[in-house]
Amino acid sequence: MIARLFHRHWRPLLIPLLVLALWELASRAGWSDARFLPPPEAVLHRLWFETTQGGLATDLAASLQRGASGLLIGASAGVALGLLLGLSRVAERLLGPLFLAYRQVALFAWVPLLSMWFGGAEAGKIAFISLAAMAPSVVNTWRGSRDIPRAHIELAAVLTFGRLDFIRFVALPGALPFILVGLRSSLIYAWLATIGAELFLNIAPGLGGRLNEGRETFQMDLVLACIVVLGALGIAFSRFAAIGEARLLRRRG
Amino acid sequence: MTIAGNCQDHFGSDAGYVCERFGSVNGFGSGRLKTEDRRSAIHQYRLGHRSGGWRHAYPPLRPDWSAQGPAGVSPTTAPRRLIGRIAVLGAGAVVPVLLLALWVISARVGWLTEQILPDPRDVLQTARDYAASGELLADTAISLRRVAEGFAIGAALGLVIGAAQGLSQGARAILELPFFVISQVPVLGWLPLLILLVGIDEELKVIVIAWSAFVPVALNTAQGMRDVPRTLREVGQVLTFDPWSMLSRIIVPAAVPSIFTGLREGLAHSWQTLVAVELFASSEGLGYLMSWGRQLFQLDIVVMALVVVGAIGLALNWTLGRVERRLRRWQVQTG
């Protein structure tokens, strides 16, 4: 069964298995310094130890909570601003260029300023994550709500919809695919910003903090274990986003 | 969904236009076509490439609260268009100018302390000092060199790997999964690992920047080459192109918009990553200038560096936009 499965799907697994085999071989044969490259089983062991006895679960929860608060604030502000830019020509003319210029400032350049304004503790981290999550939501909502089919707009005019009704029944559903694309990249950015905030700002429980700890105390197995967790989370996020998107779009019909 | 609409989704309005042209010739893709029809389809394809100005085929639609009908329908004369352009630029400048005025006034009146926002005059003075001493220029040059090196390496690798994935099914099957898994780890997650492996010198910056450019370039190149419309490939087959002409005449030109999106995104990511890496581990460069200003609680240095970072980001994006337009024109002429 496994052999057959492998026979059918060997190609995607080729490189990962080769890398693992090389890694194992290198550490067994003593080609690599165990301080720089601990054997795979040491990383697995560390991962197991951290989940069962160390505080990995607490760190993970802290990071996720931080990311989620930032995402919530940033994405809702972003969708609101995007709708404003997409639906009102005046707002687009006045604020659009400013927003486009703002987007060109590298995200991390805001870290020093934000840490002065909000401090390096929780508030500063969440402010930075929100800022990171906002931009993609704005851009995509803006694009989506600008290109609503004219027939829908005319229909809304015939039905004499007010602005709120127009947003609720026409603009939001019409822009939904774009908004979802925006939310998806907001999620990615929020997660990147979470790790960044934990690395750059004050030390606090979180995956970034553990990574820093591993670097400062030269525990390569801890660093690699954290990276494995980060990768697994990234995959989980993209699966989750894809499933959620499909659900919402199906409901919209 | 129509073929044209489908293609438009993937490639933007230009490809949508090309597909629509093909769609208008009955059953071109099905192989039930007379030679005459084929010739006329190819002719139309070339015409479409030469004539240019396709963008107007799909004017953007927007809700119009004044219910006057969509804008841009009435023909505008040249001077009016110029006035309109100036009006658009002026409108875009209103809010920034107001914010700037508010900043100046609030600093004069003393609403803001130095720790929240420094006096704009201080920022200007600091910028003048740093520019006069040559420090600002030196740090900017170092940052730009790092981005150039990292981006060049990352983009070159991304183009090669992306092209391999886009052109060969086998390569895609082998590369797709590992590529996906590794790209799910945020760039910054690799930073502590790389610091332990290569130290905090130039190599670290170049590797991280190259990595951040590599991912979008490879993804978009692969996507663009894979999504070349079948109809375009069939044109190549009808004209009995050899693999090289197929690549250089059909696949690459059709994938150029996508590849360029990747390059543009890659450069933006490189610039972002540069600032992050310099904040984290550096003793020179614009990011270092910022973290240094922060440690000294001298926000005027931070704001100055922020403005320079933003200005360079804008300039990079603008330049790539110009190059992209050039490329499109070139693409039109070779068709």
| Residue in B184, B192, B279 nearest the CB of A231 | B184
- A252 vs A79: CA distance, rounded Å: 18
Supply the mean pLDDT for chain A: 86
Is A107 exposed, middle or buried (CB count within 10 Å of its CB: 0-12, 13-18, 19+)? Answer: buried
CB proximity A253 to B under 8 Å: no
Q: What is the mean pLDDT of residues B43-65?
A: 38
Give the model's confidence band at A67: pLDDT under 50 very low, under 70 low, under 90 confident, else very high: very high
Chain A residues in contact with B182 by the CB 8 A cut-off are 231
Mean pLDDT value across chain B: 75
Predicted local confidence at residue B54, as pLDDT: 35
Determine the Cα–Cα distance for residues B108 and B111; give it in Å rounded to an integer. 8
Sign of CA dihedral B156, B159, B162, B164: negative
Measuring CA to CA, which residue among B84, B86, B62 is closest to residue A88? B62
- Domain housing B46: 3-61
Please report the pLDDT score of residue B232 as a whole number: 83
Same domain, yes or no: B279 and B183: yes
- Mutation choice for A interface testing from B165, B174, B188 by most A CBs within 10 A: B188
Burial of B99 (0-12, 13-18, 19+ CB in 10 A): exposed
What average pLDDT does range A170-185 have in this prediction?
88
Instruction: Tell me how close the Cα of A64 comes to any Cα of chain B, in angstroms.
Output: 14
Last residue of a domain, one of B43, B61, B79: B61
**Is the separation of the CB atoms in B210 and B299 below 8 Å?**
no
Contact (CB<8Å) B63/A94? no
Residue whose token pair is 């502590």: B192
Q: Across the interface, do B94 and A11 touch by the CB < 8 Å criterion?
A: no
Return the pLDDT at A247.
86
C-alpha angle A23-A29-A32 in degrees, rounded to nearest 5:
60
For residue B37, tell me if it sits in a domain.
Answer: yes
Q: What is the pLDDT of residues B180-220, one digit of tens each?
A: 888 888 888 888 888 888 888 888 999 999 999 999 999 99
* B186 shares contact with chain A (CB less than 8 Å): yes
How do residues B141-170 score in pLDDT, each as one tens digit?
A: 999 999 999 999 999 999 999 999 888 888
Do residues B55 and B172 both lie within one domain?
no
| Residue to test with chain B: of A43, A105, A226, most B Cβ within 10 A | A105
DSSP-derived secondary structure letter, B64:
-
Does B188 contact A147 at a Cβ distance shorter than 8 Å? no
Residue B214 · residue B154 · CB < 8 Å: yes
Domain identity same for B315 and B185: yes
Residues 6+ apart with CB under 8 A from A175: A83, A86, A141, A144, A145, A148
User: Domain count of chain B?
Assistant: 2
Distance CA A44, CA A27 (A): 14
Specify the range with the lowest mean pLDDT, choosing from A20-34, A58-72, B34-48, B108-122: B34-48
Choosing among B193, B194, B270, which should be mutated to test the A contact, i.e. which has the most A CBs within 10 A? B193
CB-based contact B92 A153, cutoff 8 Å: no
Angle at B14 between CA B8 and CA A145, to 5 degrees: 50
A183-218: pLDDT as tens digits: 998 999 999 999 999 988 888 888 888 888 888 888
Does residue B101 sit within a domain?
no
Residue B55 pLDDT class (50, 70, 90 cuts):
very low
> B140 falls in which pLDDT band (50, 70, 90)?
very high
B156 and B302, same domain (yes or no): yes
CA separation (Å) from B297 to A153, A206, B177, B232, B301? 52, 27, 46, 60, 9
Which residue in B60, B186, B314 is closest to A195 by CB distance? B186
Residue B92 belongs to some domain of the structure: no
Q: Both B176 and B29 in a single domain?
A: no
Lowest mean pLDDT among A8-12, B176-180, B192-196: A8-12
The token pair that represents A61 in the structure block: 């929860």
Residue B77 placed within a domain? no
Structural tokens at position A209: 């903090």
Closest CA relative to residue A134, chosen from A85, A94, A170: A85
Whether residue B96 lies inside any domain: the answer is no
Q: What percent of chain A has pLDDT over 90?
A: 27
| Binding-face residues of B in 213-242 toward A, CB within 8 A | none
Give B180's Cβ-side CA count (13 Å radius): 16
pLDDT one-digit tens code per residue, B276-320 = 999 888 888 898 999 888 888 888 899 999 999 999 988 988 888
pLDDT of residue B333: 52
- Tell me, yes or no, whether B42 and B133 share the same domain: no
B-proximal residues of A, 187-246, CB under 8 Å: 191-192, 195-196, 199-200, 208, 211-212, 214-215, 218, 220, 223-224, 226-227, 230-231, 233-235, 237-238
Q: What percent of chain B has pLDDT over 70?
A: 75
**Which of A127, A141, A244, A140 is CA-nearest to residue A193?**
A127
Question: Nearest CB to B189: which of A117, A195, A200?
Answer: A195
Count the Cβ atoms, other than its own, within 10 Å of residue B51: 9
Token output for B319? 């330049």
Per DSSP, the residues of A72-106 read HHHHHHHHHHHHHHHH-HHHHHHHHHHHHHHHHS-
Identify the residue with better confidence: A246 or B17.
Answer: A246
Same domain, B10 and B133: no
List of residues 6+ apart from A125 with CB closer than 8 A? A66, A70, A194, A197, A198, A201, A204
**How far apart are alpha carbons B284 and B290 in whole angstroms?**
10
B46 plus B183 within the same structural domain: no
Question: In angstroms, rounded to a whole number, what is the distance separating the alpha carbons of residues B194 and B240?
Answer: 49
Calculate how close chain A gets to B174, using CA atoms only, in Å.
5
Is residue B39 domain-shared with residue B147, that is, in the same domain?
no
Residues B143 and B287 in one domain: yes
Tell me how far the alpha carbon of residue B267 is from its chain's centroid. 7
Which residues, at least 6 apart from B262, have a Cβ–Cβ distance to it below 8 Å? B158, B162, B216, B217, B218, B219, B220, B221, B224
Stretch 4-63 of chain A: residues touching chain B, C-beta under 8 Å: 11-16, 19, 36
- The verdict on residue B109 lying in a domain is no
What residues contact A85, with CB distance under 8 A and at least 6 apart? A91, A92, A95, A96, A99, A138, A141, A142, A146
CATH assignment of the domain containing B143 = 1.10.3720.10
ipTM of this complex: 0.82
Q: Minimal Cα–Cα distance from B60 to chain A, Å?
A: 6
In this structure, of A210-214, B13-17, B77-81, the range with the lowest mean pLDDT score is B13-17
Helix axes A110-118, B299-334, angle to 10 degrees: 140
Q: Measure the CA–CA gap between A156 and A127, rounded to whole angstroms.
A: 38
The whole-number pLDDT of residue B78 equals: 65
Chain position carrying tokens 């959620």: A244
Chain A contact set for B116 (CB, 8 A): 116-117
In a domain, B123, yes or no: yes
Residue B73 is predicted with a pLDDT of 42
Q: How far is CA A60 from the centre of its chain?
A: 14
Given B13, B42, B61, which residue is the final one in a domain? B61
Kindly list the residues from chain B whose CB atom is less than 8 angstroms away from the CB atom of residue A200: 276, 279-280
Written as one letter, the residue type at B121 is R
Partner-chain contact A106 B65, CB within 8 Å: no
Identify the domain boundary among B61, B83, B105. Answer: B61
Domain check: are B32 and B153 in the same one?
no
CB atoms within 10 A of CB B309: 27
Angle between helices A220-252 and A56-87 (to 10 degrees): 40
**Nearest alpha-carbon partner for A237 in B270, B185, B108:** B185
DSSP state of A147: T
Question: Is residue B106 included in any domain, yes or no?
Answer: no
Residue B155 shares a structural domain with residue B225: yes
Terminal Cα distance for chain B, rounded: 27
Q: Which residue of B has its CA nearest to A219?
A: B196
Q: CA A97 to CA A100: how far, in whole Å?
A: 5
